[in-house]
Chains A and B, each alone.
Chain A
Amino acid sequence: MAKKEYAFYPGCSSQLKASASNYLVSVNSMCEKLDIKMTEIPDWNCCGASVGYGEGGELPRLAISARNFALAEQHLPGQDVVATCAACWLASRETIERLDASAELMKETNEALAAAGLTYRGQVQARHMVEVLIDDLGYEELAKPVSNPLEGLKIAGYVGCQTNRPFGIAGESFENPMYLDKLVETLGAESLPKYEQKVTCCGGALAFSEPDKSQKQIRDIVESAYDHGADLIVTPCPLCQANVEVYQSEINKKQGTKFAMPVTYYSQLMTVAYGGTHKEAGLDGHIIAPGKLEEIAAKGGKK
């Protein structure tokens, strides 16, 4: 039996050939190495993300998150819902908070769920994968499977917004969270704790609708990583990953910079440090190849 079991909410961007499909690949590899069993919530739906507010309204948004909870309660009773996407986690946490605080909203949400033949009993906990790693396993446990330490790599821990605010990881500050730095050190790489853009917003969904304003944010995030001598950036958020990696070429085009800073997920670093291959770590899913991480993966991929 696996050490830990969770109800998995992968989210839209993690689906096959979606923008964070390589995140899912690396999460699966990482969980296998850590003996964590993730069972997908059957027929889960989109969380509405943050930008869903514009058209969605409050109750429809609560209802769509509650549908995932109802399905989890029904099919995977007693298991915490674990999201890998920051927005999925945030929408889920907000829904739980809102429904716990208001019997009226809970009743109305269940009225809506009844139209889909479902009931939410209010028993779900929603967690981010990073919480599972840090709170349920702990750094010591995470260090154990390291067989291919990421020696010589300097990594800027870019926490971003939604894995950090308003809920965040227990015991961490909103302004200067340290968990990515600790994780980087756990894997044998060098962290850059003075990377001052670690909680700067990448623009989120507004990278689409307000590209110039968002690209200014992204420029700060990348430039600071260079200033600190980083070989790559690591993040726990799929939208941060996509925005910060993908728009570097646009910034180069418009502003004459020469950015080519790789942006990876923590799960990719962990997979490589645990002896996983290039493919198992989803390193083939990048526009800016994380060269130095690829070299380490090539060294330790075969055990």
Chain B
Amino acid sequence: MEPKVKSAMQMKIQVRKKKTIVAKDRLFSFLFILPSILAIAIFVYGFIGWTGYVSLSNWNSQIPDFSFAGLKNYVSLFHDFRFQADLRNTAVFMILFIVLVLGMGLMIAVFLDQKIKFENLFRNIFFFPMALSFIVTGVVWQWILNPSTGVNLLMKKVGIEPMWYTSVKVIPGVEWGKIQVGIPIAVIAVVIAAVWQMTGFSVAMYLAGLRAIPDEVREAARMDGATEFQIFRKIIFPLLLPITISVIIIMAHISLKIFDLIYAMTGPGANFVTDVPGVYMFETTFRGNYYASGAAIAIIMLLSVAIFIVPYLLSNRKGES
């Protein structure tokens, strides 16, 4: 009996020891993430709160004025021609950008997945634009698409003079509010540059997704007499859905926040056909010293990104637990 009792006691002690170790581990791990919690609390959430506070104030000159303005800054924004144009441009840019990035990314990924020769080489070629910053992309594509340089110069030699890069046309251009609603032709130029840069990312994602689908599944489907097209539609696409959603989320938040590409490439554009909230925010705040209006634009941008990100994060958490 005695040894048994002893061992039970020993076990108890061990458990207690373990518990204190666990508690200590928790304490230390907490201490080690404390700096980043503090930094994020101040520099991210603190400043978001501050921006929100400023956006409700009357601070619209170099002299700070924190008196409460209510939603005045937001209301005047939505009545503003430039901001309405920004919302249209962002929506058009986002839709075209996501559709093209997904479509071309999937196409290239499927092509690369065919166990072709020089796969590595091709993969690197497609990924490489990702290594550039949007500023570089903007400058390069501006040279390429500018009416007085690049491809248009070549086309001019043949007798075609396309002015779409500087076009102020909006198709179909239905009058709504203060603006014409539709697809501004000039936005397409920016979409081309953005797609060129970001397609590599969706290729990488899709390629990883395709590689993760076991060959057995396809084999089994083939044995059951499914055609290649059916395999894609019924097996591969559904299995790629989570990846597609991730890519959409990431591309959506890139396109809602886009600033550098537009700034380097076209600027606000004639009649604001290529303007986006990011550029407007920068000019309002740092050129015009309209700090409250600028903050209001920033908050609207944050909310629009949150519409995409928050449901995604919530569903991810559900999936984990």
* A and B part of one assembly: no
Residues of A within 8 A of B (CB): none
